Chains A and B, each alone.
Chain A
Amino acid sequence: MSQTCWNCGIAVSARFCEQCKALQPPAHDFFEFFGLSRQLALDVKDLEKRFYGLSRQLHPDLFSRKPAREQEYALEASAVLNDAYRTLKDPVSRALYVLKQEGFDIAEQGTKDVPPELLEEVFELNMALEELREGDADARAQLQPARLRFERMRDEIDAAMQLSFAAWHAGNERAKLDDVRGQLNRRKYITNLIARTDEAHVSD
């Protein structure tokens, strides 16, 4: 946030200037924007309350009779607000955001982090999908149980991730973030598998 108000020039530390009430340029850190500390475990109900409250203050509709510069800030602030809410309300995108802010490279991962037990699952799934493509309708019977297994794995990862979130909250140890990162990679792999079984189901 800038040091002095763009409109009246007095020192500002809040979203709106205390003297002239003009909206200031927004903070770009998602947690800072909501007035929160960087955290993995987050009260989503509280976040939603903050989101609605800030929307009532910042939406461009409320600035249509203000100077052009303030309209720009309202547009910018609302975009950050919506981006931040969308990112932080979902645990997976929130975790990715925290990792990025903590300096982790979160670029797309290959298959190298896939646990060995999954490789066999993937092999079986590929077989079933191949048979299905060749017109063997019996292979479909294998898809539903496979999907259920994947869903169970995803739920297990989600539970483990919640534990990692809490562990990081307790001590801010970087090693806990490594755990989160590994969990995110596995989770992504599994959601891809679920999507593939669904596609095979839909395409016939």
Chain B
Amino acid sequence: MFQIEFDSPDSVVGIDLGTTNSLIACMKLTKPEVIPGEDGNRMVPSIVSLPPEGAPIVGNAARAELIDHPARTVYSVKRLMGRGVADVQEELKLFPFHIAEGSESVIRLVLGEKTLTPPEVSALILRQLKANAEAALGMPVTKAVITVPAYFNDAQRQATRDAGRIAGLDVLRLVNEPTAAALAYGLDKRKQGVIAVYDLGGGTFDISILRLHDGIFEVLATNGDTHLGGDDIDNRLLKIALEDVASEWGEDVSHYGEAVQTLRAAVIRAKEALSFALSATVDFTWHGKAYRREITRELFEGLIRDIVDRTLGPCRDCMKDADVTPEQIDEVVLVGGSTRIPMVRSAVEVLFRARPHTELNPDEVVALGAAVQAGILAGTVENQLLLDVTPLSLGIEIYGGVVSKIIHRNSTIPASAGETFTTGIDGQTNVLIHVVQGERELAKDCRSLARFDLKGIAPMPAGMARIEVRFLIDANGILHVTARDGRTGLEQSVEVKPTYGLTDEQVEAMIEASIDHAEEDYQAAQLAGARIDADAIMTATAKAQKNSAWLSLTDEERQAVTDAANRLQLAYHHEDHQIIRAQIDRLNEVTHSLAERMMNTAVNSALKGTHV
């Protein structure tokens, strides 16, 4: 179905930047494969911790920091991407986020002494994934496809792209998670058909319905909720457990970050166990006190029923928008760790009247699909093409605060619309356009995207100017606005004031800062590597000096080795790795004949051994 080139130097990776876990994958021959980290784990928990000194801690290592240093550690940061502080009031009640002043358009998270924006925290996760891939592939990784929830709005998409840029990645494409999953599943599957992808992740829910047409994956409609996921189940269980602990111990532990995180880990373990067993125990000890509670699957299902039910409305709306009935859906694909919950599976089965696919690991399928899309962009995967849609309608605010929709939701992207604007008063030289995303009639009920200021209009009587504005949503789902003077045909300047998110200048500054750090990080790694090698060769030399071969050397040779070893010893604490390296090389050189003789001695004794 597709061909592949071997080891293209221009390889592109696929990244699933998840709420709970993140993964990186690439095409290996004809199949996408997840790239494990150095610790062998395929998933990098999306947890970042900033110690008082030294490099940030990311992933599994940061998990322990969550309990030991909760004020320096952050998880589920994806929930904050592209949002302002007013949007996340619900999150603030449930997550231990510490937010600084001035977080109206971009949230600033306090982590110890530092303040970071969500794209910067995400960039640290991306950096870790990038390093994992570079170590495994043995080459630099600079180009990536990153997945986003299908229901992400423009600001959330921009924030994700910014994170990639800050991490030093050229983000070739943002791909919707459910669509990526369909790509991963569709590799050698049916040529025609309708697929529903149900994606219940850590923090977001997406439903997409696609039509397959000889390698074209055409999304018919998408729907979802960017505030619904496994996190909500965890928070529900945690809240109940905290109350239960309080009533049993007569002490409320909810103000101790460490206790809360320990209990949270315990309820998550119980939740996961309940996907396979009919009952599980929540075990929690803190300050010498023990709490133990048995939860049956039946009780668990009663607790989360409303959360599962909240996914069904978007599914029905999506079928309606796609103009398909459950009978017309040929395949259902499950994505996201939360779809392991038996109750979720049966709800999906009842709704779509089809047994869902579970062959691929629901935690990995999005990353695998991102790798396939990376292959499409690199030109190594042929005859497959994704036609995605924009999840939300794009509109402009007109008089009375009413929204005039110019690109409707579920339009195939890239999509565009043209509008002509004019002036309202004599001599007016600029026009302000407020662009929003959403389905509601009033601008204040939609998501404000940006204000575009059309500047430099030649002064003339009201209503005479004709400014033709083109709104274009690209294949990433990101809006571009251009304008020209309808009379002269000349390009008109447009100043963009994003309502949420970082400005280009801010992103540039962060890239600068991260490059500086990247250089520091690189130097630190080189230094550590050189010292490890120095230790190894000094140990080997000391050992060799006790070998019989040592005595067979000339006095000069022995002196040279001793001198070189002493010099390396002196260079060892130098901050420049190149100085250490030079002495390692020197010691290597002078111990060459010693090593040869030792080898011969070893071979000789081995040969003798065989003759006995």
Contact = CB atoms under 8 A, between A and B. Distances in A.
Interface of A: 52, 55-56, 59-62, 64-65, 75-76, 78-80, 82-83, 85-86
A80 B417 CA distance: 9
B520 to A, nearest CB: 32
Contacts of A80: 416
B182 to A, nearest CB: 15
A56 B216 contact: yes
Contacts of B376: 61
Interface stretch (B261-269, B326-334, B407-415): B407-415
Given A62-B385, A79-B414, 5 more contacts: A64-B173, A64-B378, A65-B378, A82-B413, A83-B416
Given A64-B172, A64-B377, A65-B379, A59 B475 contact: yes
A32 to B, nearest CB: 16
Interface string B444-476: 000000000000000000000000000010110
Interface of B: 10, 172-173, 213-214, 216, 373, 376-379, 385-387, 411-417, 472, 474-475
Contacts of A55: 216, 385, 387
B353 to A, nearest CB: 24
Contacts of A56: 216, 385
Contact of A83 (B173, B213, B377, B415): B415
A61 B414 contact: no
Instruction: Name the prevailing secondary structure of the A interface residues.
Output: helix
A45 to B, nearest CB: 13
B216 A79 contact: no
B582 to A, nearest CB: 41
A189 B549 CA distance: 102
A61 B385 contact: yes
Contacts, number: 53
A75 B474 contact: yes
Contact of B475 (A61, A65, A76, A86): A61
A61 B173 CA distance: 9
Contacts of B413: 82
B8 to A, nearest CB: 10
A85 B385 contact: no
Nearest to A74: B414
A60 B414 contact: yes
Contacts of A83: 415-417
Contact of A61 (B10, B213, B377, B411): B377
Contacts of B387: 55, 59
A45 B472 CA distance: 27
A82 B388 CA distance: 11
B412 A82 contact: yes
A73 B216 CA distance: 21
B411 A82 contact: yes
13 contacts: A52-B213, A55-B385, A59-B385, A59-B387, A59-B475, A60-B474, A61-B376, A61-B475, A65-B378, A82-B411, A85-B412, A86-B411, A86-B415
A56 B387 CA distance: 10
A75 B376 CA distance: 16
Contacts of B379: 65
Nearest to B414: A79
A101 B213 CA distance: 32
A82 B387 CA distance: 10
Contacts of B173: 61, 64
B385 A75 contact: no
A72 B69 CA distance: 48
Contacts of A79: 414-416, 472
A86 B214 CA distance: 20
B216 A52 contact: yes
A75 B472 contact: yes
Contacts of B10: 65
B412 A86 contact: yes
A153 B387 CA distance: 36
A98 to B, nearest CB: 17
A78 B216 contact: no
A60 B475 contact: yes
B474 to A, nearest CB: 6
B383 to A, nearest CB: 8
B411 A75 contact: no
Contacts of A62: 385
B594 to A, nearest CB: 53
